[in-house]
Structures are given as structure tokens and as C-alpha cells.
A and B are shown apart, each in its own frame.
Chain A
């Protein structure tokens, strides 16, 4: 890790001013930033520590019924906040399926949004990577890319966004509150992330020095509270990133889906909202056929970026299952293994 200057601002304005210098980076809990600095992936020359800023650690219900989550709220604190997890259970489930209890206790929601890809070539400074070093090439192409993107990738970059939290936020139309030298603005999460195109090093709409101050979940998203789930398929039962994940939310009235929400994780460089799948579901009854149709729609444009064609088939199955789970209803209590296909283990075995 390179030597850096450490700055502990006492206000957001001070933080933004400090970040005006090139080579600055904001420090949340550091569970991603320090990891990358230790790996030599990123070498900021000044760290601006956000963790002592006042007022960014609150979870508040706003008068319009929406919920506002300060950027410094810890992942675990949010997932275990009773009001929050009642209103947005799939978000809580997604949070609890990510990383480990220790990491969730430390990690901030702002940092979670801004965590970088887990592409092994990005993490390896000896490899060519357009995201790490624009113009150097992409060693993931033609390399070990079984975990890479199947949607929205480009010839410059085939990485995926690793966050679970963001997938559920995307399904529920979260917005991100940003502050910069020019004041505050709000950006829907669906517009926040950029696909790689020719500029994979540009990942979000954040301008240099801008800071995430909060995340908002709209009041109407709570309408889905009874039918929302997050499903995450992993190679290990816990403490593993998603191969493919999905957040599904349904509004069901009189046996008909009035509105559907679907976002996918592990498939693209952004949490992937599927308008096509949502449209395919509207007005249908919540049946397996409907869910499979939606799954086909969600992956209509998918194509392998390497040895990962299997993820397309897996993705379809994940979507169909997540929708079925949402239709079945949000469980009373958070499952023992959040978001896992083994979430509820009843044990009993039948010979058939």
C-alpha cells in the first residue's frame, strides 16, 4: 500500500472540498477500498475519511412515506432495522446474503454502492485491464471468465457488479442522493451505474469529488412488501459472491399480477433491471408459465462473454424461481440462510 495523506473532515462540505485534489478517495469502512489498496489495484494519495461525518448515519421515514438511509449506515444495521426490513424485506434479505456478519457490521451503504468489481483480472495488477488502466486491454476476455457478464458487456470489459444490496435497491426504484461542489442532486439507481462501453473505467455518474449522502426508497415500493424476495445462487453455501441473483417483487391483486419488479445480479456491470420481464408479467396470473416467460424475456438479449453461457440458463431459472418465491409471499421471519436455495430447510425426505 502506498503512503497517503489522511484527512478527517468534519462536514460534508469540507469533505467535498478536500476531495477536489486529484488522487483523493473517500473512505467508508474501507472493506473494499483497503482491500484494493492492499492488492495494489488502486493507489490514492489522500484518503478522506467519511466515517466521522455527522448526520449521515440515520435511517428516517420521510413525510411522504419514503425512507431515507444515510450513506454511513452500516449494512447490518440497515438489514436489522425493524421498520426498514418490514417495508423492504428483499433489500434486507439481499444485505444479509452478502459478505459476512463482520463485513456487514463494518461496511457502509455508500461503500456498498461504490464497491468495485470482483473480476480477478481487475484485482491482479499484472493483468491487462481497461477498467484499472484504461487502454491496456482486457485479460478476462479469453481468460477465466466463467463468472463474467452475459448482459450489457462490451469488447472493452466483461466484468460484473458484485453488490447484492444494489440489486434489490434497483428492483425497488431507489434513488441516490448525491452532494458535490455544485450542490445536491438525486439520481435514480437505474441511471446511476454506467455500462462499460468503451470507457469501463467510468462506472457511475458520480463526478469527481461528489459524495453519496443517502439512498432513498420510495413509499410505493412498500406496496410490494408482501411479495418480495432475493435469491442468490452461490458456489458455497455462504460467504460467497453471487453467480447469478435476482430480486423479485410483485403486486398481486385477485390472483393477477398488477405490477412486477425484477432486477438481476451477477450478470452485468450494473444491477440489471429487466423492464421486458416486468412487462411480460403484468396482467398475468402468478404461474410457473408466466414466470418462465418473464425469464425468457429477461435474458432475450443475453450472450456469453466467454465460457459462461451456462449463466444464461442459470439466470433464467433463477428468475423463474425468484418470482415464484415472491408470489408465495414474503416469509414471516428472515430465513435462516438468507437468499439461499436452501433458505428454509425442513429436512423431511420423501421417497417418490
Chain B
């Protein structure tokens, strides 16, 4: 049974604490199968829940064969809108942060294909699965609207999570009028699905008016409030255990209907209930990256400097909730232009509500922007790197704020050097490999905000000089269990082996949201501050204790290092934590810390991670099959806590870039609206053979404003830049500019002759 993840010291490692490429501290658990994911839990008496999901996109359920399902051996209960017990709130109420209007069997309406329409609970998984099938729903269906052209677009009030839909500066038309060269181009990106390897799962067990939930969750403490709201119990009555997430990518931060129904079923039946989505059920209720259409107009003067950059996005959302992919915002902070316009429209379709998916807005926006910039460079007659350098933004173009730090020039230089960019011919179709395949080189700039949220942490020094640190953080693969642990040990001036780390449990201090690439910065700051607080209290004891070699050092100061406090002016005078505590007769000394952005620097500076990605692709000149053969990414993302883990995050993001550029697309049947490739065989994500040798360069960057530790994030930036780099490399290989993602055989075939 999973509980708080607690990791003692003692793993193989190369040195100590921050900056060191330690191997993952949860590594042994993960390679031995001992790491417990939500669906691995199995409390006594547990029942299995399986939902039936709608096969129409709009209309109502007219019948469910509940009798047939109940007659199946092992089926215990069938929950439908007709017998669903009451919940404390309605889906429209949304009384907690990031609440979406979700389906909890409130009525018989179907709003998208894949929506839950009933839940069957049984003694075995096999029985529940068959029970759900036997429901054989019938419907009254209305025409499905699943394509951009099926509906009129509208002007949204906000995009992404509460961002303004329009931002403008200068005069676009005037900028275009004075331009020497202009381009206008439109791109399309499809609906994409997170497809974390771990399907969403929940094991719920009640004890009176308290409930314990094993469920992968990117925001543990926040979610206790959400589940509390649904069941009319205080947040402290909800315990969420999420020691490991099998990938989240944004899809495990928002409560969805199936989770609420599982908790409800457990309550209704008085037994623990497990619900794990089937892979096909992950295409609908748990979010996706909405499709976009993006139109650009750019003008360049004689030197190749932008005179105008206009980026208009239309994003899809559902008919009942807004999550509008803020793709145009990718143009706010990257290329300097006196006239800048970014606007969004939205289209309501009969689809599940989109949501944040690894680099929401930035990924789609960057894919299109970096392609358009390549087209602009060509129009200006400039090498794509040179063009980007000429349009380098010294201050953030839309806000005019200075950057807190921006080592993008170094990224360009180091990446280009490693890749060999200077040998790139300007014209397309100039390179072949010795098997006759077309070879192309392309690049893109990577950009991602460096946000911070709110987090709390506790540190406790123990009598033996070791320590315990605690925060309800989430590790979905980014390496929190290692990086946060490293930071915490540094805050305490201890070797990591001396520090025990507890996380992944909602009963711990609120670790905030693992999202937006801000978790290490936020929870890390809290942990570091908690350690510092404990050390300050310890210092207080020592400097006031006549028996201590540190007595009277109050004004001079002490430093905490290797489990000892040292006088700042005379490091030879020191005393161990244990000795100080023992003499003071204190068995434990606690400190608390918070992580949040300093509001004044947030006001003053634009804060981003940057990078440059260089791609080589090979294209079979006749068969048009494409393969990425090389990727180099150079990224500047502030202080890197663990270079090994940071590189892995960046590789992962770049591989998502391969998927975005070449493979990923949910295909809806235009008539029924159903996604016809809602599986991993036909919705292609990259496999090992799609992934070439890659290089990641971690470019030094000292950012003094993002937070005291100088930490930005690396979780999402890798996908930005990469998509455009690959698209541009395909153009360079073939001379064909494909403006619809993913770029595949069919698109190239149409444009290439067999000779």
C-alpha cells in the first residue's frame, strides 16, 4: 500500500546536493517494480468500476440496459443519472481553483464522444468491463460539430488560464506598408492527446466522513479542497496519496468526472472502489491540446528586421467550457518588432474540453511561429539563424520589460557550433546522404515562461543532526524526488544522505502545483527556506549558549555546512547540529518555509527560459517517409539543480517535438464525431526507433530575479523550438513547405515527383 513516499539517503551519487548529476533517488523503486502507482493499490474488499462512454458527440442517452448489466455475474451496481446519489455541488458551481464543468452523470445529455454516461461496479475487473458493454446505450443524436468549418468562431474573454485574448503594440498595417519583404502564411495544428503512459486511476476508500484517495495528482493539497467540495466535507477529511505519477503532462491537475464518480461509488457501496481508465477513455474526459489555425503576417525592412508581426489564432474548445489554446502569446516575448499583434478567436465544438498539455499555447504557437520565421528569413534572403539574431529582442517585445536573464545568444552560438550550422546551404534540396536520401537542416527558438506558484514546506532538525523535510510535491517523472531533495539538503547545510524527504501526500505542507515548469522553483524555494529557518533557529541557540564555540557570533554570522555551524569570521570554530541541540536539550527543531515569487521582481521583469534547437531530417525522395536523424538543443534555464535530470526533461520535450511535428493527430470521424484512432496503435507517439541521437547543452545562466535560488524550469521548453526546427528541416530537405501538422508522407508525396 502506498503512503507518503519517503526516501532515505544512501543512493549511488557523484557528489553532494545541488548542481550534481545524481541518479534518481526513486530509481531502485522504479526499476524493481516496487514504486506504487495509483492502480497498484488493492485495499481489502475492493470493487472495480468501469464506465460506459458515449459513442455520439451530441444529443442524449435514451436507454441503458441496466438489467442486462446487473444480470452479469459479479456486477454489483450500475450508476446512471437515474440513480446517482446526490453530490454536494453541481458541475457548474466550480467552487475550487481549476474547476472545469465536468460530467458526473448529472443528466442524460451527451456533449462529446467519450463522455462518461454510466458507471458499472463489480467484484472483478472482467465483470465490470463486460457489464459496461452490456449497457448497450441508445441515443437521440444531433449533428456532430468537430471541425473548424462546422461552426462560427467567437471572441473569447480569456485564453489559457485567464490570459487576455488580445495584445497589441504599434501599427501592424503601417509596419507592413513600410516593409521591403512580407510574408503571410497560415498553419494548422491538430487535436493532440497527452497519453501519459499511466492511465488515470483512482482507488477510493471511505472511513466515516473521511476519504482516502490513491490517484495520480499534479496538485495534491489543492485537490483535497476539490474533492471535499464535491462531497460536502472539509478538505482535511480528504487524504490524497500520489507518490508517483506515471506521467501527467497537464492532464492530471484537473479533477474529472470519473474520479468523482469513483469516490461516490465507494461511498454508495461502502467498499473501496478502483477505477482505471482504458486507453480509449483517455480521449475525451481528461483534456487534450486543442486544435488551432494560426495566421501570420510579417514585414521586414531591408536589413531583415521585422517591421510588423501579426499572429492570429483560432482555437477549439468544447461547447460547455473554455480552455482556449493561447497560441498567439508565443509571439509576445521572442522577436523584436515595433508593431506586434496577437489575437485569439475560438470555436466551440462537440469535443471534450481541451486543457493544458505540455507547453500549452507555447507548443502550438511556437510550431507555427518558428515555421513562419523560417519563411520570413527566406523572404528576407537571410540565413534563419542570422535572421533570428537580427530580430533578437533585448527587452520583451510586447511588455517592453527587461528580461530577468536571457542567455539566448549563447544558446544560439553553442547549439549552432555543436550542430555545424554554419555549413548549411541556404537553398533547399542541396544535401543528400550516401543512400540518396534528402537531408535538411532547420532550427527553431525555444521559449517558455518561468512562473512560480505558492508552496510551503517544513524542515525538522533531529537530535542526531539529521533532518526531515516535508512538502506535498508531485513527481510525474521530472525528478522532484531527487531535485527537491537536493535543494532541501542545501538549505540545511547537510549532505543529502542525512536528509529524509517526505512528499507525495496531501497531509504534508502544500507543495503547490506541479505544472507550468514551476514546481522545482516553487517547492524548491519553500524547502530551501524551511531549511534556512531551521538553521536560523539553531543559530539562535548556539550563539546564545556560553558553552558553544559560536557563542556571541550573533552579529558576525555563522554558516551552515556539512552538518555544522561555523563562525563566519573563523571557520575553524564550529559545532555540529547534534551537539547544539543536545546541549540545549532540544530533541527536534522545526523550520517553515514558503515559496512564491517576489511581487516586485514579477512586476519589473520578464522571466523566461530560452533555447535554440537544431534539427536534421532525412526524407526518402520518392517514398517520402521522414526520419529525424539528429537533434541538438541548447537551453538556458537559470540554475540547474541536477544536470542529468534536467537533460532528461529536455530530451523528453524534444521527443514530444518529434511527435508533434511528424506523428500526433486525433482523427475524428466527421459524421459521428468519434475519434477513430483513440488508441496507441493508431494515434502515433514516437517509439524508440523514431528517436535519433540527441544532444542537450545546458547553457550557464545566472538569473538573480526569478527567485532566490535562480531556478527556472525545464519541463516544457524542449517541445518549443523543436517542432519548428523539424518542419524547417523538412522544407530544407525537400523544398516543400507543409503548413499543416503533423507533416507526413501524404503531404510530401503530393509535391514531389518520382524523379
Contacts and interface: CB of A to CB of B under 8 A. Distances in A.
B432 A317 contact: no
A310 B674 contact: no
A350 B672 contact: no
A1 B126 CA distance: 7
B151 interface: no
A126 B672 contact: yes
30 contacts: A2-B133, A3-B73, A127-B672, A139-B669, A143-B669, A143-B670, A143-B671, A144-B669, A144-B670, A233-B745, A234-B625, A235-B663, A235-B684, A236-B663, A236-B687, A237-B689, A237-B690, A240-B684, A292-B754, A313-B749, A314-B624, A314-B745, A342-B437, A342-B620, A342-B627, A345-B629, A346-B435, A351-B430, A352-B431, A352-B432
B302 to A, nearest CB: 30
A143 B674 CA distance: 11
A37 B594 CA distance: 53
A346 B433 contact: yes
A347 B692 CA distance: 12
A318 B623 contact: yes
Interface in A115-148: 118, 120-121, 124, 126-127, 139, 142-144, 146
Contacts of A317: 622-623, 754
Contacts of A233: 623, 625, 745
B676 A124 contact: yes
B627 A124 contact: no
Nearest to A244: B623
Contacts of B672: 126-127, 139
A107 to B, nearest CB: 15
A243 interface: yes
A341 B676 contact: no
B618 interface: yes
Contacts of A146: 746
Contacts of B129: 1
Nearest to B439: A349
Of B431, B433, B676, B749, chain A has the most CB atoms within 10 Å of the CB of B676
B562 interface: no
A255 interface: no
A350 B431 CA distance: 6
Contacts of A236: 663, 684, 686-687, 690
B682 interface: yes
Interface in B634-677: 663, 667-672, 674, 676-677
Q: Contact size class for B?
A: 35 or more
B689 A337 contact: yes
B623 A126 contact: no
Contacts of B437: 341-342
B676 A120 contact: yes
Contacts of B667: 144
Contacts of A1: 126, 129-130, 133
A266 B746 CA distance: 15
Interface in B388-440: 423, 425, 430-435, 437, 439
Contacts of A351: 423, 425, 430-431
A273 interface: no
Given A144-B670, A313-B749, A346-B435, 11 more contacts: A1-B130, A124-B674, A126-B672, A144-B676, A314-B623, A317-B754, A341-B623, A342-B625, A347-B433, A349-B434, A350-B433
Interface of B: 55, 73, 126, 129-130, 133, 423, 425, 430-435, 437, 439, 618, 620, 622-625, 627, 629, 663, 667-672, 674, 676-677, 681-682, 684, 686-690, 744-746, 749-750, 754
A28 to B, nearest CB: 19
A239 B668 CA distance: 22
Contacts of A310: 745-746, 749-750
Interface string A330-347: 000000010011101111
A68 interface: no
Of A240, A349, A350, chain B has the most CB atoms within 10 Å of the CB of A349
Interface string A153-166: 00000000000000
A120 to B, nearest CB: 4
A316 interface: yes
A288 to B, nearest CB: 9
Contacts of A239: 687, 689
Interface residues of A, number: 47
Of A121, A233, A316, chain B has the most CB atoms within 10 Å of the CB of A233
Interface in A84-133: 118, 120-121, 124, 126-127
Contacts of B629: 345, 347
Given A238-B689, A347-B433, A342 B618 contact: yes
Contacts of A345: 435, 629
A54 interface: no
A80 B682 CA distance: 28
A306 B677 CA distance: 18
Of B623, B672, B677, B690, chain A has the most CB atoms within 10 Å of the CB of B623
Contacts of B73: 3
Contact of A2 (B130, B668, B749): B130
A352 B749 contact: no
Given A1-B130, A126-B672, A126-B674, A238 B684 contact: no
The 6 closest A-B pairs by CB, nearest first: A126-B55, A238-B689, A237-B689, A120-B676, A341-B620, A317-B622
A350 B435 CA distance: 10
A139 B750 CA distance: 26
Nearest to B429: A352
B687 A237 contact: yes
Contacts of A342: 437, 618, 620, 625, 627
Given A126-B672, A126-B674, A144-B667, A346 B622 contact: no
Nearest to A35: B681
A142 B671 contact: yes
A352 B625 contact: no
B638 to A, nearest CB: 35
A190 to B, nearest CB: 26
A338 B433 CA distance: 19
